[in-house]
Amino acid sequence: MSDEKTHIVPYRVYAFVLVALVVLTFLSIAITGYDLGKYTVAGALIFAVVKSFLVLTYFMHLKYDKPYIKIMVGFVFAILVVTIVVTFLDYLYR
Amino acid sequence: MQSTNAVNQANYLEYRGRFKGLFGWIFSTDHKRIGLLYLYSMAVMFSVGVLLGLAMKLELLAPGKTIMDAQDYNATFTVHGVIMIFMVVVPGLPAVFGNFLLPIMIGAKDVAFPKLNLLSWWFYVAGVFLVLAALLFGPGTPDTGWTFYAPYSFKTGTNMLPAIFGAFILGFSSILTGLNFLVTIHRMRCPGLKWSKLSLFVWTLYGTAWIQLLATPVVGITLVLVALERLFGVGIFDPALGGDPILYQHLFWIYSHPAVYIMILPAMGAISEIIPTFSQKHIFGYKAIIASTMAIAFVGYLVWGHHMFTAGMSGTAQYYFSLLTFLVAIPSAIKVFNWISTMYKGSINIQTPFYWAISFIFVFMIGGLSGLVLGALAANIYVHDTAFVVGHFHYIVFGGTGFAFFAAIHYWFPKIFGRMYDKAWANIGWIVFTIGFLTLYSPMFYLGMMGMPRRYYDYLEEFHGGNILSTFGSWILATGFIIIIVNLVRSARRGEKAEMNPWKGKTLEWTVPSPPPVENFDEIPEIAEDDGPYNY
Amino acid sequence: MEKVTHAPHDHYDAEASKIGMWLFIFTELLLFGILFVIYSVYRYLNHDAFHLAAAELDTFTGAVNTLILLVSSMTIAMSVTALQKNNKPLTLLLNGITFVIGVVFLVNKYFEWGAKFDHGIFPGSATLAETLSQGEILFFGLYFIMTGLHALHIIIGLVFIAVVMWKVARGKVHAGRSALLENSGLYWHLVDIIWIFLFPLFYLIV
């Protein structure tokens, strides 16, 4: 139980992830500069989701963690999404 | 092997740590002492809540002003609600029996983070004092009801801020307890104790801890917003500034409905321990109970809107919430079915905890079925905000959690204190209490159906009979409560010494001496392949 | 709090403290998640007003804060690697960079809020009530609450990092006992993730 090996992540992985995050940030600024109408929100949020996925996977080590921790994290995000959907059952149809 | 386990350690009641006397308790990180700290502080708060409840019933003895006017009545039901919900039933069984028993039931020496555990209790005490400060000082006792509904909660001139902040701190205490239990169950099970061998009380604590963790932050941030609204006038829930008060109700019930399951799940867990022990028979449908526990925890998170059917929600949302509310009834009914089936053909040993357990099933059934009346959209509009609702949730929260709490304290009392209570007086206490309970709350169903609104200090003459009966019941209930408390307090000091396993239970806590030694076990136990928590 | 009592059976379980931290992060996610629920409801109800109000915010400052926060996330992630490779000076340096960036973030925030206050835009102000529509008032209310709560978390994170640096320097956190450093990293990344969502919702969607 005590001799679980920790995975040492090389520095360059983090550097690559940072580059990706910065590129995504600029892309999201660029894309919201255009008038996409009602898709602006969706566009910006997709970039945010991809970015936070990168942070969760690499910076927060989920890639190297045991499956049950990944399941928990996924579950919590799912609960949050379901809560938003259920709340909007009220506001969308009022 | 088991009879010699842990006999050469001091028991936790007599153990001397770094501090003596009171400090040895309030600075102790021992999970058993923390459990008792919760027990004592909750017993005090429960008694205060009972007194306030008695005062309300006395006010309703006759129409018009009896002992208090409208404003005092509003303050009384607010404080009664805040105390009973946030300080008694939400910490409830997990804080007392979870703390005391969880590590023993999984064969561990303590919880995963003992210091954090003590910190939770300190938060609890801090929250209690903040709320009490709101009562005693400042411009007036809060009068919003325990729900703190906006916009009134930031318009009223009463002393809301300490009450809100206190509830926030109490929530923090609840979160930390849940977090601690989750890590403990994941990481500290003794060798061989697989998930499929955990006792059901532990399983319900697991489900409860997830709700505590995921629901409590919601009410936390909502209360912060109300406080900010009072302080700065941000406008989030203020219709004058564009805010939507119904959104407050959504957010409040996103926590407070799951909170009902925080209260009832561990209660169901305790009943699932007691029934097999006194039937001397393997629990019927072990996996079904686990599955229904998790189903209740999950679906219960998504039904909050059934508290708001008359608030002005969209029709779509109403259909959805009504449907899911009915779905929650299924896993609850599965559990009742399992308990009854466990008793079938068992060798039943009728003792006080068993009386409490079967009366729990009885009142819980009535509470649950009246809940279906409220879950149906059309019926709900008829009885919304009437005494019917008050009767329903007292049957669930008091009849469910409260009865299970008394069942649990009578079941584990010999383990906790190492002494046995007077069984005859315990039975008398039970019967008086139960009769009082039924007399107190049953008339409320009738009164609500006839149209008597809740939260009014006055009523029409036609409701007089039912109210007299109900108030009379409150006195019987109080008598029963006094009998129970006196018997238990007396027995904790002077009762006869209890054996290690007086009820012939099979879960791990019955393999250690009564009261348990400081470190619970001399050696961490190992669970063999064919062992199980209910193998009779 | 600092009075550490070592129970005789005080054992080190890195995974337990990691799960503990994750569970705590879940509560934080729900806390901010609910604010996002409120934001989306009011955005839905006040579509145009939110667009108007968002144009008042300075995208450049927001973008700068986003970028430096991303860099600080990388440095603290790297510091864990450095510690595992037994490179104590590098660990402290990387943590120090993270700390400084966190402070810079707060300074930016201070000037940003200050500019708003100078224009009379703050909760409960007379300007807000007289000149702006209800939707705009809600937007700025949410802006101050959400960025304020985020800034509070930055401050907590900074304290956390400072404590960890002190323990690394004293040798109490080392390659064999790195859980505390990893947890401070997890917390900092959480703060980063929240900002990743705050930035587009307040600054970009105009």
A89 part of contact set with chain B, CB < 8 Å:
yes
Exposed (0-12), middle (13-18) or buried (19+): which is B490, by Cβ within 10 Å? Answer: middle
Decide if the complex's ipTM is over 0.95. no
**What sign does the dihedral A62-A63-A69-A75 (CA atoms) show?**
positive
* Per-residue pLDDT tens over the stretch B321-357: 999 999 999 999 999 999 999 999 999 999 999 999 9
Q: What is the pLDDT of residues C18-60, one digit of tens each?
A: 999 999 999 999 999 999 999 999 999 998 899 889 888 989 9
- Tell me whether residues C13 and A41 touch, CB distance under 8 A: no
In a domain, A87, yes or no: yes
**Are A68 and A88 members of one domain?**
yes
Residues 6+ apart with CB under 8 A from C136: C46, C49, C50, C52, C53, C128
**A56 lies in the same domain as A18:** yes
- Do A28 and A44 lie in a common domain? yes
Q: Share the mean pLDDT of chain C.
A: 90
Give the tens place of pLDDT for each residue, B34-57. Answer: 999 999 999 999 999 999 999 999
What per-residue confidence (pLDDT) applies to C82?
95
Minimum distance, in Å, between the CA of residue C5 and any CA atom of chain A = 22
Does residue A75 share a domain with residue A51?
no
CB B46 within 8 A of CB B88: yes
Residue A88's pLDDT is what?
95
Residue B332's SS3 state is helix
- Please compute the mean of the pLDDT values over residues A23-27 and round it to a whole number: 95
Question: Tens digit of pLDDT per residue, chain B (536 long)?
Answer: 344 444 557 888 888 777 878 888 999 999 999 999 999 999 999 999 999 999 999 999 999 999 999 999 999 999 999 999 999 999 999 999 999 999 999 999 999 999 999 999 999 999 999 999 888 887 888 999 999 998 899 888 888 999 999 999 999 999 999 999 999 999 999 999 999 999 999 999 999 999 999 999 999 999 999 999 999 888 899 988 889 999 999 999 999 999 999 999 999 999 999 999 999 999 999 999 999 999 999 999 999 999 999 999 999 999 999 999 999 999 999 999 999 999 999 999 999 999 999 999 999 999 999 999 999 999 999 999 999 999 999 999 999 999 999 999 999 999 999 999 999 999 999 999 999 999 999 999 999 999 999 999 999 999 999 999 999 999 999 999 999 999 999 999 999 999 999 999 999 999 999 899 998 998 889 988 888 888 88
pLDDT, residue C11, reads 67
pLDDT at res. A5: 57
Instruction: Look at residue A1 and tell me if it is in a domain.
Output: no
Task: Over range C60-69, report the average pLDDT.
Answer: 94
Q: Is C13 on the interface with B (CB under 8 A)?
A: yes
**d(CA C18, nearest CA chain A) in Å:** 10
* Residue numbers in B near A93 (CB within 8 A): 314-317
> CB burial class (10 A; 0-12, 13-18, 19+) of residue B166?
buried
Question: Which domains are assigned to chain B?
Answer: 23-511 (1.20.210.10)
Instruction: Check whether residue A40 and residue A69 sit in a common domain.
Output: no
Is the torsion defined by CA of B180, B182, B187, B190 positive or negative? positive
User: Contact B187/C13, CB-based, under 8 Å?
Assistant: yes
Residue contact C15–A60, C-beta within 8 A: no
Give me the residue from C23, C123, C135 closest to B233, CB to CB. Answer: C123
Inter-chain residue contact C129 with B241, CB threshold 8 Å: yes
pLDDT at C10: 53
Q: Following CA atoms B178, B184, B189, B194 in sequence, which dihedral angle do they give, to the nearest 10 degrees?
A: 40
Structure confidence at residue B428 (pLDDT): 97
Residue A82's domain comprises 63-94
Distance from CA of A42 to the nearest CA of B (A): 23
Tokens of B55: 């005062």
Residue A62 pLDDT: 93
On whether residue A88 sits in a domain, the answer given is yes
Residue in this structure with the two tokens 């068992």, named with its chain if needed? B346
In this structure, the answer to whether residues A55 and A67 fall within a common structural domain is: no
Same-domain pairing of A17 and A41: yes
What does B226-291 look like in DSSP terms, one character per residue? HHHHHHH---SS-GGGT--HHHHHHHHHHHHHHHHHHHHHHHHHHHHHHHHHHHTSPPTTHHHHHH
User: Mean pLDDT over residues A17-34, rounded?
Assistant: 92
A41 in any annotated domain: yes
Number of domains in chain A: 2
Lowest mean pLDDT: which of A64-68, C150-154, C188-192? Answer: A64-68
- The span from the CA of B454 to the CA of A65, in Å, is 52
Q: Which fold has domain C16-204?
A: Four Helix Bundle (Hemerythrin (Met), subunit A) (1.20.120)
| Distance of alpha carbon A88 from alpha carbon C44, whole angstroms | 10
Which of B179, B181, B255, B518 best probes binding to C when mutated, by most C CB atoms within 10 angstroms? B179
Q: Are residues A14 and A25 in the same domain?
A: yes
pLDDT for the residue B16: 75
**pLDDT on residue B523:** 87
User: In the predicted model, what is the mean pLDDT of chain A?
Assistant: 89
Chain C residues touching residue B175 (CB < 8 angstroms): 27
User: So where are chain C's domains?
Assistant: 16-204
**More confident: B148 or A43:** B148
Are A76 and A33 in the same domain? Answer: no
A33 with A71, same domain? Answer: no
Q: Do A25 and C74 touch (CB under 8 A)?
A: no
Pair (A51, A73) in one structural domain: no
Claim to verify: residue A55 and residue A21 sit in the same structural domain: yes
Whether residue B446 lies within 8 A of chain C, CB to CB, comes out as no
Lowest mean pLDDT among A76-80, B136-140, B404-408, C199-203: B136-140
Whether A3 is in a domain gets the answer no
Residues C23, B183: C-beta atoms closer than 8 Å = yes
Domain-embedded: residue A2: no
